[in-house]
Amino acid sequence: MQAKVSILFYAKRAKATTDGLIPIYLRVTVDGQRIEISTKRYVEAGKWSVEQGRMKGNSGDAHSINTYLDILKGKVYDYQKELVHEGKQITVETMRNKLLGTEVRSRMLVPIFENHNGQIEALLNLEFAPGTLERYKTSLKHTIDFLKWKYNVSDIDIKKIDHAFVTEYEFYLRSVRKCNNNTAVKYIKNFGKIIRICIANGWLDKNPFVNYKAKVKEVERAYLVQEEIQAIADKTFATERLNQVKDIFLFSCFTGLAYIDVKQLTRSNIGLGIDGGKWIFTNRQKTDTRSNIPLLPMAEEILDKYKQHPQCLNEGKLLPVLSNQKMNSYLKEIADLCEINKELTFHIARHTFATTVTLTNGVPIESVSKMLGHKNLRTTQHYAKILDRKVSDDMKMLKFKLSGCSDRKTLFGLVNNPM
């Protein structure tokens, strides 16, 4: 509904000057609320028409002042049209800002998003990984494409972003971009960070994400079973490069370290642990959380093997790690040669450590979580799913406790109050 705007010029007798001149004021009323502004023009009391809101007579002064008042009146209506054209609500505040020339500068979404990405780029490899920058660059591209698709604009005032904008953006990602649930939620989450920056800076009064809910669906995480790990370990490849990738992959299987954390390992990360054995002491780049891992024999053997490798000596690293892209490319070849029917990637090694190497062998999930450098146990539960073998072992213990129970009362008593 359009706001009702009325205009009135009046002489304010209470502010008359010492020589008897009365200032003329402009009063703009928007839906019953007033704005009063001095026109910087003065008139003698007897020459002002209260009924007409104009100066009486046809003198040069009267003509000049009345023309000026007409111009001011025209400006008010022009400002009203501008606010409608800009899609802004006509209120006392917006009209006052127009009249006084103190209108708050619009803050546009894309420059804010670009500034955020620029800050990440400036802190690359210090606080942020290259992958993080790429994700936000892609998120910005999707946001710009959405603006063109939905509104046919290249940018938007952040004050126009509301709940409908967020839900429409999610629809766009799922329908036009064909993103699956988790990918769409990830991009919306990235966009949400930009909105939180706007709110924190006081640029937005309302959070458009209020009442918006999007849930990440748990994905079945791939991992290697013991036989598959053994098949890779026993295989000797024709090329040294494949053997090198195999060793580094196995190292991650027995330490749980992600690709970037393996790549950055140096001699300073190896020290003596509480048990007197060799441990890895490092901070995960992704979360900057401490990860202390006792070296298992297989991992220690691999480190010894590459002590004198030229790349390690030149770069001061523990292992000659290739780019993530090349590692994953060679791992696909390794999977084929070892007849492993899985999409083998370097990150599967981390899942394998959490499941086959640790949990399956009875390592408590709390210890696994600490070695993986997780901030909470729920994250570990996604990585370290409870395997059928673990369920089987747990049920065998229950069967053992229940053995020898003959009556149902005792049986249910044991189930409800296990030993």
d(CA 216, CA 119): 27
Domain assignment of residue 117, given as a range: 109-200
Helix residue ranges, H only, 152-273: 163-175, 181-200, 226-234, 240-253, 259-263
In a domain, 345, yes or no: yes
Q: Tokens standing for 417? A: 């109050």
The confidence band for 309, taking pLDDT boundaries of 50, 70 and 90, is: very high
Q: What is the pLDDT of residue 380?
A: 74
In a domain, 127, yes or no: yes
The confidence band for 410, taking pLDDT boundaries of 50, 70 and 90, is: very low
Average of per-residue pLDDT across 311-322: 92
**Residue of 148, 213, 208 whose CA lies nearest to 185:** 213
The confidence band for 131, taking pLDDT boundaries of 50, 70 and 90, is: confident
Neighbour-count burial of 139, counting CB atoms closer than 10 A to its CB (0-12 exposed, 13-18 middle, 19+ buried): buried
Question: Do both 379 and 395 map to the same domain?
Answer: no
In a domain, 90, yes or no: yes
Q: What is the pLDDT of residue 416?
A: 47
Average of per-residue pLDDT across 135-153: 95
For CA atoms 265, 267, 268, 272, give the dihedral sign: positive
Q: Tokens standing for 171? A: 């629809």
Q: What is the pLDDT of residue 101?
A: 76
Question: Do both 318 and 260 map to the same domain?
Answer: yes
Q: What is the pLDDT of residue 377?
A: 73
Question: Do both 298 and 324 map to the same domain?
Answer: yes
Question: Do both 180 and 61 map to the same domain?
Answer: no
In a domain, 209, yes or no: no
The confidence band for 412, taking pLDDT boundaries of 50, 70 and 90, is: very low
Among 71, 100, 129, which residue terminates a domain? 100
Question: Do both 115 and 160 map to the same domain?
Answer: yes
In a domain, 212, yes or no: no
d(CA 24, CA 62): 13
Question: Do both 31 and 54 map to the same domain?
Answer: yes
- Is this model's pTM higher than 0.75 or not? no
d(CA 47, CA 62): 9
Residue 25 has pLDDT above 90, yes or no: yes
Question: Do both 240 and 361 map to the same domain?
Answer: yes
Question: Do both 235 and 362 map to the same domain?
Answer: yes
**Residue of 249, 185, 258 whose CA lies nearest to 217:** 185
Q: What is the pLDDT of residue 411?
A: 44
Question: Do both 259 and 359 map to the same domain?
Answer: yes
For all residues of the chain together, what is the average pLDDT? 87
In a domain, 71, yes or no: yes
Average of per-residue pLDDT across 334-350: 92
Among 157, 182, 200, which residue terminates a domain? 200
Question: Do both 156 and 180 map to the same domain?
Answer: yes
The structural domain count of the chain equals 4
Question: Do both 65 and 175 map to the same domain?
Answer: no
In a domain, 208, yes or no: no
* Tens-digit pLDDT profile for residues 103-126: 556 789 999 999 999 999 999 877
Question: Do both 238 and 382 map to the same domain?
Answer: yes
Q: Which of 88-92, 282-286, 356-360, 383-387 has the lowest mean pLDDT?
A: 383-387
Among 182, 200, 218, which residue terminates a domain? 200
Identify the top-confidence range among 44-48, 105-109, 415-419: 44-48
CA 323 to chain centre: 26
In a domain, 214, yes or no: no
Strand order in the sheet with 290-294: 270-272, 278-283, 290-294
* Tens-digit pLDDT profile for residues 152-176: 999 999 989 999 999 999 999 999 9
Give the domain CATH number at 381.
1.10.443.10
Helix (H) or strand (E) holding 138: helix 130-151
